[in-house]
Structure 1
Amino acid sequence: MTQGIHGTVADGFEPVREDFAAFVAGELPDYEGQLCAYVHGRKVVDLWAGEGCEASSLYGVFSSTKGAAFMVAALLVQEGTLEPDRKVTYYWPEFGAEGKAGLTVRDLFTHRAGLVGLDAGFTGAELADDRAIAERLADQRPFWRPGTAFGYHAFVIGALVGEVVRRATGRTLQEVYEERIRAPYGLDFHLGLPEELEPRYRSVQPMLPTPEQQAELDATPTGPHTLASIAFNTHVPGAGELADYPNSRAVRANGPASAGGVASARGLAGMYAAAISEVGERPPLLKPDTIAEVGQIHSTGYDLVARFHKSFGLGFQAIADYVYPYLGAGSFGHSGAGGSQAFADPRCGLAYGYTRRRIAYPGGAGPENERFVRTVHRAALAA
């Protein structure tokens, strides 16, 4: 066993352990995290490190939660319960207020609604409750003409998708996820953490930015009513710190589908493995046509909220376009502000999951993922 590293790798994946060990050695004693990967449904990487970290430890995964929300949506599209090119109002009539009546489900899923938040903002209690978010957004005027541009709906996309799911099925998105995806595969990826699993939760902690990072943060324009501040609810006086969001028991218990999920790396990777591969005796969750559709780029270009180039498939991030360009076309997944990353590359059968406890700056997937993903992908191709 490499010093400080726990777990196993399959033959041919030893370079992944070496990269993980090298990174961890430079980050201790503050580091705590997990890395897991599957290839064609077989677990090939299962590593963890850090004081207090176990393979079964659970972390707030922030926007990696959106991957679970869109996995539910993909299943319902596959079955015909949801039709992407129907108007949202077909399922949710009240949504049509303030010029939103023409928006399609496809445009909603791909961050084109212009409905990134509320003028007045949300309370902390509302951000833990998808039904409350959806109810308030139904009357909100969009911040751009729906369908004409796109921007990251950071704190609300899960609630919007969830309300469409609830209207179409009579079940909440969290209930469908539990019954159709999490429980059948035994995934440690929860949208609603049961009380009895609370001892396994590791509270998220922020890392202070370096002087260079702080200077960059200070130089970034962040007016009180920018699209970014509205999307991340920071325009509200007294808004809590992002790092504290999953540390709220209400958030963990309710599992809001934009950013309230709790998972291990095994849970993240396992969900994407189940989506594209036979796992155990179970067939893939998604059929080839569905996999192709969710990975097909739907929105690309300048993200009005993030203020840089991004691409989305049918809800999922199209990460081969702007994050890891060496991945196969049609790769899909989602990262999280706490540093987590999770995705599937159907062309080589790779499913990947990564968690960490400490939030690095500037946010999003931890930069170490670049090194890990490249090495895992290379080994998967060789296998």
Structure 2
Amino acid sequence: MVDVHGTTADGFEPVRAAFADNFALRGERGAAVTVYRDGTKVVDLYAGTRDADPGDEPWRHGTAQVVRSATKGVAAAVLLLLHQRGQVDLDAPVGTYWPEFKAAGKERVLVRHLLAHRAGLPVLDTPLTPAEAVDGVSGPRALAAQAPAWEPGTEHGYHAQTYSWLLGELVLRVTGRTLGTWVAEEIAGPLGLDLWIGLPDAERDRVGRIADVEAPPAPASAGLRVRAKQSVTDAYRDPESLTRRAFAAIDPHPDENDPAYRAGELPASAGIATSDALARFYASLTGVVDGGHRLFAPATLTLARTEESAGPDRVLMVGTRFGLGYMLHGGACPLLGPGSFGHPGRGGSLAFADPESGISFGYVTNGMQKNVTADPRAQALVRAVAKSLAG
């Protein structure tokens, strides 16, 4: 049995029980979960070890972890806030802000297509090395030259890695600041979040080491092939599939514990945060935190969780639902209710908000599991939150 540390408000005891069960029944090594309700923290728990392997240093209050694709929800907020401020038109062609992007048949790719995974750019003909992925130049240059894999706007497919360079370059062109800098100055700083897209050297000791899985082998060719009835398993095994190539846009697979990688700004996959930072971030999207901080105006909140993409996903090979930058409640990503929006991270992390119940949720872990969107540990915690609300 692991010792669970932290606090739960009256009525939220089921979350503590589910969190403990994750260690006893579901292979958890080290993790934290935080829940806010109507801007007030009601759950703040942590347990286990901060490092997955070796695992001897205890997880402490404020331990942060790489949250992989849960970072996408933070990155999406930057574009939506720029739209809220009148600096970005969601229905404008991306080439309006980034002229080089118009090449190779991308003149009609809209800003909203990037956020809703409809741009047709989940893969690169030539994958980037880990060093190129974080240099701030190679990724945008490659995508500016890349031809779409389908007619932009007509279908959707998860932009697992390329989302980093698409959104990062757009923010840079509009604001003159990198996306990580914008987050630090406009979101994390004002809200007091332990959240970084580009980890500062001074914060390295705050972050635990994550477990990893074997990387997929490099694609055999640059050809695109999607079989009409290809299974998810087959797609991951097929070196020419969109699925395999989307997740191998950085090749070889980067060492996610490498300080150089963590310092790079990859808003698709390499954000670092505490569970409290993620939950507090989502609380600020849907309501007021600490009596004064709210990020999204009501109209922007509606944009974030209005369905833009739904149905068969050309990359994930299952039915997915996306708003503008956020996964929506559904079979591939069960959240708290029909109005919930957020983003999971491969390996288990999950962050979301449910405006109807006033809940915002953040979960981070160092124990890698292979589920892409619906990790059983995170789902057990979501069900426990629902049980707590039901009384």
TM-score (norm 1): 0.90
User: Which residue type is aligned with residue 122 of structure 1?
Assistant: L
Does residue 334 (structure 1) correspond to residue 334 (structure 2)? The answer is no
Q: 2:323 aligns with which of 310, 313, 317?
A: 313
Distance 1:8 1:336 in 2: 25
Partner of 2:219: none
Distance 2:10 2:269 in 1: 35
Q: CA deviation at 1:256?
A: 1.1
Q: CA deviation at 1:328?
A: 3.3
Partner of 1:153: 159
Distance 2:124 2:89 in 1: 27
Q: CA deviation at 1:68?
A: 0.9
Does residue 349 (structure 1) correspond to residue 364 (structure 2)? The answer is no
Partner of 1:85: 91
* Farther off after superposition, 315-324 or 281-290: 315-324
Matches within 5 A, 1:289-308: 289-308=299-318
- Are residues 253 and 207 of structure 1, via their aligned partners in 2, closer, same or farther at CA, if it must alter by over 3 Å? closer
Does residue 38 (structure 1) correspond to residue 22 (structure 2)? The answer is no
How many residue pairs were aligned?
367
* Farther off after superposition, 304-313 or 18-27: 18-27
Partner of 2:248: 233
- Are residues 370 and 94 of structure 1, via their aligned partners in 2, closer, same or farther at CA, if it must alter by over 3 Å? same
Q: CA deviation at 1:85?
A: 0.5
Cα deviations by residue, 1:307-365 (Å, 9 ceiling, x for unpaired): 1100110011113564226x333321111112100001111111100011010123444
Q: CA deviation at 1:175?
A: 1.4
Distance 1:269 1:277 in 2: 12
Partner of 2:267: 257
* Farther off after superposition, 82-91 or 360-369: 360-369
Q: 1:323 aligns with which of 327, 333, 337?
A: 333
SS state at 2:277 partner: helix
User: Which residue type is aligned with residue 46 of structure 2?
Assistant: W
Instruction: Please say if residues 64 and 274 of structure 2, whose CA atoms lie closer than 8 Å, have aligned partners that are also in contact.
Output: yes
Q: CA deviation at 1:218?
A: 7.0
- Are residues 130 and 335 of structure 1, via their aligned partners in 2, closer, same or farther at CA, if it must alter by over 3 Å? farther
Partner of 1:123: 129
SS state at 2:59 partner: coil
Aligned structure 1 segments of 4 or more residues deviating by more than 3 angstroms: 216-221, 362-365
Partner of 1:206: 212
* Farther off after superposition, 115-124 or 363-372: 363-372
* Farther off after superposition, 273-282 or 303-312: 273-282
User: Which residue type is aligned with residue 224 of structure 1?
Assistant: P
Instruction: Please say if residues 56 and 264 of structure 1, whose CA atoms lie closer than 8 Å, have aligned partners that are also in contact.
Output: yes
Does residue 75 (structure 1) correspond to residue 81 (structure 2)? The answer is yes
Distance 1:150 1:218 in 2: 19
User: Which residue type is aligned with residue 4 of structure 1?
Assistant: D
SS state at 1:376 partner: helix
SS state at 1:101 partner: coil
- Are residues 355 and 114 of structure 1, via their aligned partners in 2, closer, same or farther at CA, if it must alter by over 3 Å? same
Instruction: Please say if residues 339 and 355 of structure 1, whose CA atoms lie closer than 8 Å, have aligned partners that are also in contact.
Output: yes
SS state at 1:206 partner: coil
Cα deviations by residue, 1:113-150 (Å, 9 ceiling, x for unpaired): 11112111111112224442112110011111111111
Instruction: Please say if residues 86 and 105 of structure 1, whose CA atoms lie closer than 8 Å, have aligned partners that are also in contact.
Output: yes
- Are residues 194 and 3 of structure 1, via their aligned partners in 2, closer, same or farther at CA, if it must alter by over 3 Å? same
User: Which residue type is aligned with residue 377 of structure 2?
Assistant: E
Instruction: Please say if residues 68 and 268 of structure 2, whose CA atoms lie closer than 8 Å, have aligned partners that are also in contact.
Output: yes
* Farther off after superposition, 329-338 or 64-73: 329-338
Does residue 223 (structure 1) correspond to residue 238 (structure 2)? The answer is yes
Distance 1:101 1:305 in 2: 23
- Structure 1, unpaired ranges of 5+: 209-215
SS state at 1:99 partner: coil
Matches within 5 A, 1:44-63: 44-51=42-49, 52-63=58-69
Partner of 1:211: none
Distance 1:360 1:197 in 2: 26
Partner of 1:165: 171
- Are residues 219 and 93 of structure 1, via their aligned partners in 2, closer, same or farther at CA, if it must alter by over 3 Å? closer
Instruction: Please say if residues 338 and 365 of structure 1, whose CA atoms lie closer than 8 Å, have aligned partners that are also in contact.
Output: no
Instruction: Please say if residues 2 and 23 of structure 2, whose CA atoms lie closer than 8 Å, have aligned partners that are also in contact.
Output: no
- Are residues 3 and 142 of structure 1, via their aligned partners in 2, closer, same or farther at CA, if it must alter by over 3 Å? closer
SS state at 1:377 partner: helix
Partner of 2:228: none
User: Which residue type is aligned with residue 35 of structure 1?
Assistant: V
Distance 2:113 2:233 in 1: 34
Cα deviations by residue, 1:162-209 (Å, 9 ceiling, x for unpaired): 21111111221111111110011111111111111111111111379x
SS state at 2:104 partner: helix
Instruction: Please say if residues 130 and 250 of structure 2, whose CA atoms lie closer than 8 Å, have aligned partners that are also in contact.
Output: no
Distance 2:380 2:90 in 1: 36
CA RMSD of aligned residues (A): 2.1
* Farther off after superposition, 295-304 or 194-203: 194-203
User: Which residue type is aligned with residue 170 of structure 1?
Assistant: G
Partner of 2:22: 23
Distance 2:86 2:191 in 1: 23
Distance 1:21 1:130 in 2: 41
Distance 2:250 2:77 in 1: 31
Distance 1:202 1:247 in 2: 9
Instruction: Please say if residues 329 and 338 of structure 2, whose CA atoms lie closer than 8 Å, have aligned partners that are also in contact.
Output: no
Q: CA deviation at 1:251?
A: 2.1
Distance 2:281 2:358 in 1: 13
